[in-house]
Copies of this chain bind each other. A is one copy, B any other.
Amino acid sequence: MTASTSSLGYAVLGLLARSAATGYDLTRRMHRPVGWFWTAAHSQVYPELARLESGGLVEHDVVEGAGPRPTKRYRLTRAGRVRLRDWVAEPAERAPDRDPLMLKVYSLWLLDRPQAVALVEATRTDHAARLEVYAAQEREMQARPEALADPGTREFAAWATLRAGISFEQHRLDWCDWLLARLRD
């Protein structure tokens, strides 16, 4: 009866809780800004919407749009909102630990020193660039500081994920610098 919902399902519900959207809209938002912590291709989104609808968690009506098939605008049902809230309140599982960079660092002893330095420098550059993207996003958000003042709002929730991203990039930068200092003795 209460069909189980995957993380992808909750990602979709989380977006629809903020505003009604087409599958196409959801796919775009799964690229940015939600893509920073959860991504999905449109080929995943459409079947997932059908599953959620058959479970009574979302519903749609048809609006006129630009595609060859009817354009469907989805919104959360009351049951969907309850299901999402219950899931959010449960303790979060850890993200699966699968980091290709760490796999490389574990075998860093196979490289000669200049190669090792180059690998870490490239990583550093990548994190610095991402940090700049996040920081720009945060400046944009802080243009309306009153929306971020209340931690009960959706704007604050989005800001909290951004802050986590900024903190992560900063930690990786610091780690790169720690490693580079040792590699360049």
Q: A residues engaging B (CB < 8 A)?
A: 7, 10-11, 13-14, 17, 34-39, 81, 84-85, 87-89, 91-111, 113, 115-116, 118-119, 122-123, 126, 151-154, 156-158, 160-161, 163-164, 167-168, 170-172, 174-175, 178-179, 182-183, 185
The answer to whether B99 and A37 touch across the interface, beta carbons within 8 angstroms, is: yes
Closest chain B residue to A178 by CB distance?
A: B163
Given contacts A95-B101, A122-B91, contact A167 B174 (CB under 8 A): yes
Main SS of the interface on chain A?
A: helix
Q: Known A-B contacts: A35-B97, A36-B102. Give 11 more (CB < 8 A).
A: A11-B103, A34-B106, A81-B110, A85-B107, A91-B122, A95-B100, A109-B152, A109-B154, A160-B179, A163-B179, A164-B175
Q: Which B residues are in CB contact (< 8 Å) with A81?
A: 110
- Assembled-state Cα–Cα distance A111/B156 (Å): 13
Q: Which B residues are in CB contact (< 8 Å) with A182?
A: 151, 156
- Assembled-state Cα–Cα distance A184/B174 (Å): 29
Closest chain B residue to A169 by CB distance?
A: B171
The answer to whether B108 and A38 touch across the interface, beta carbons within 8 angstroms, is: no
The answer to whether A88 and B104 touch across the interface, beta carbons within 8 angstroms, is: yes
Q: Which B residues are in CB contact (< 8 Å) with A119?
A: 88-89, 91-92
